[in-house]
């Protein structure tokens, strides 16, 4: 979990075996992000940046506007949740990154997303 400028970011992950093909080195994961605005003003999510690292240390960078086609504005006390996915070539990997946010007063800040684990159940001992 990360807290920056009164924005809380939490993450849960799930391996999706029905959408994976381990024999072809394809491991599909879903992650659900929850953002909560605990500040005294609305804020908008403008951009995302992800650094995805698989178990072989292969790194992939992903960046773009918003999330799942949206640039949501979180009102004071509001929560926004979305689910997306990542395909890895290994049964274990990590993701980390940041969101570019804009406060109602026009100031912008990067809200860090701490590293989180993507792992097939039983892949780690």
- The CATH number for 23's domain is 2.60.40.1470
Domain count, the chain: 1
For residue 111, being part of any structural domain is answered with yes
pLDDT score of 23: 97
For residue 124, being part of any structural domain is answered with no
For residue 17, being part of any structural domain is answered with yes
Give residue-wise pLDDT tens across range 18-63. Answer: 999 999 999 999 999 999 999 999 999 999 999 999 999 999 999 9
* Helices and strands in the chain, H and E counts: 0, 9
The secondary structure of residue 26, as a DSSP letter, is: B
Residue ranges making up the domain that contains 115: 2-119
For residue 30, being part of any structural domain is answered with yes
For residue 96, being part of any structural domain is answered with yes
- Alpha carbons 21 and 7: distance in angstroms, whole number: 37
For residue 125, being part of any structural domain is answered with no
pLDDT score of 125: 58
User: Which residues contact residue 55 at a Cβ distance below 8 angstroms, ignoring those fewer than 6 apart?
Assistant: 88, 90, 91, 92, 93
User: Which residues contact residue 21 at a Cβ distance below 8 angstroms, ignoring those fewer than 6 apart?
Assistant: none
| Span 75-89, average pLDDT | 98
How much of the chain exceeds pLDDT 90, in percent?
Answer: 91
For residue 78, being part of any structural domain is answered with yes
User: Which residues contact residue 23 at a Cβ distance below 8 angstroms, ignoring those fewer than 6 apart?
Assistant: none
Least confident of 67-71, 108-112, 119-123: 119-123
- What does pLDDT average to over the chain? 95
Position 111 pLDDT exceeds 80: yes
């Amino acid at each position: 979990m990360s807290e920056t400028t009164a924005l809380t970011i939490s993450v849960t992950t799930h391996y999706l075996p029905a959408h994976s093909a381990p024999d072809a080195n394809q491991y599909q994961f879903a992650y659900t992000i929850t953002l909560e605005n605990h500040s005294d003003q609305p804020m908008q999510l403008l951009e995302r940046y992800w650094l995805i690292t698989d178990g072989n240390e292969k790194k992939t960078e992903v960046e773009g506007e918003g999330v799942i086609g949206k640039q949501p504005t979180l009102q004071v006390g509001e929560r926004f949740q979305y689910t997306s996915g990542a395909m890895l070539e290994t049964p274990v990997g990590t993701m980390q990154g940041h969101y570019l946010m804009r406060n109602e007063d026009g100031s912008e800040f990067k809200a860090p997303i701490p590293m989180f684990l993507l792992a097939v159940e039983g892949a780690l001992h």
